[in-house]
Amino acid sequence: MHVAWFIMARMFRILCFILLAAMSAAAQNQQLTQQVQSIFPEAQALYLDLHQHPELSSHETRTAAEMAQKLRSLGYEVTEHVGGTGIVAIMKNGAGPTVMLRTELDALPVTEETGLPYASTVKAKDPNGREVGVMHACGHDVHMATLYGTATIMAQTKDQWHGTLMLLGQPAEETITGAKAMVADGLFTKFPKPDIGVALHDENGIAVGQVGVTPGYSKAAADSLRITVYGKGGHGARPESTIDPVLMAANIAVRLQSIVSREIHPGDAAVITVGYIQAGTKNNIIPDQAQMGLTVRSYTPEVRQHLLAAIERVAKAETEASGAEKMPLIEHYESTGAVYNDPVLTKHMAGVLESVVGKGNVVNEEPLMTSEDWAVYVEHGVPGFYFTLGVADPQKLAAAHARHAELPSNHSPLFAPVYGPALHTGIAAEVAVLRGLLKGNAGDVKKITEIKSPQINADKN
């Protein structure tokens, strides 16, 4: 009898503990919702301002100044011009871990066609001197407004976290050069090196109110190649007196596709895309040379190195087979490694996100072959958690799926996030993630990352 009473009493205590914990979590979520609502008007105003004043990669002077001024007014110690137009904002709040949260600053050379009343009408010169429309077609304006809202709440609720919060405004993500520039400029030597890094990216394939997580490889390594082949020009009616670089380039383009289909294991992800072939000035003139532009995508270092070596082999072999006297010029001018999410950290943070947005609103996403230079920070020893924020209208998304179609994606001139609800969800999610990490000490934070993550993305090119 006494044993039964003891068991019943113990079960009652456990039930009470669970009930109190649930009530406490609900109260915290309600408080966070109110905090987000209170700062939403400022975050919305910033979003609209940034959307109407986009700037191209490495030219984000107004954007960076605006973000720096706002973060400085919240009490952050702000350093500008890190790696070009980058900014670093630090808030120290006692002993504890250092956590980095990043946003991108740049927009794309895209002419907006959304027809929205706040649509961008900005024009600018691209690196080739051409006038182009400029638009936040990848949603970096959403990211910046979200980070600002998060930074505001974190500054106003320092009693709910401790440690060092490090905010990054990174330039030139779209050209995958900004992260490298910031690291080269002393990001991890002039400032505290983070124990963990966090980044968010919006996604029009997920309904607003939802977030997505991907443990392990999330985005692909990207390598941009420019191949120039050299022939012998002449009259188009006398091909026998020439060595045709256009034919040479065409043969290379076709032969490159067999690398993925015949040299890479079917279970390994790999893409080789020839984005352009440029040559000649007139239809009856065989030119002296032709140029090809390639993007190469992969996840693992082994596949990446195989692809790059095979491309060089094919280009040289086709050149020799054509009888050309000069070997091709192969320029590797942009690159970034694959984005890798620490699996243990991702699982832990998925639970944190579920407590805020609801379990059914945390979506497990498949890895994508798009790229992102967030990988640079991971390569420098910062365990990363990179997650996605849904910005799609749920009804429009459901209707698109019903007809087996997709909504305009990132980089489309029609990309139009449902920014209001997205900002609410994004700010709440980032605050919850940061509060979940900025407690305990640095040792506690490291316990929720893999003891030994795989060596990835080493850029040996």
Q: For residues 375 and 335, give the distance between their C-alpha atoms in angstroms, rounded to a whole number.
A: 11
Q: For residues 370 and 340, give the distance between their C-alpha atoms in angstroms, rounded to a whole number.
A: 13
Q: For residues 2 and 118, give the distance between their C-alpha atoms in angstroms, rounded to a whole number.
A: 72
User: Cβ–Cβ contacts within 10 Å for residue 102, how many?
Assistant: 25
Residue with tokens 């124990």: 195
With 0-12 / 13-18 / 19 or more C-beta atoms within 10 angstroms meaning exposed / middle / buried, residue 69 is: exposed
Task: Give me the count of residues in the chain.
Answer: 461
Handedness of CA 185, 190, 194, 200 (dihedral sign): negative
Q: For residues 61 and 84, give the distance between their C-alpha atoms in angstroms, rounded to a whole number.
A: 9
Structural contact between residues 106 and 50, judged by C-beta atoms closer than 8 angstroms? no
Active site residues: 106, 173
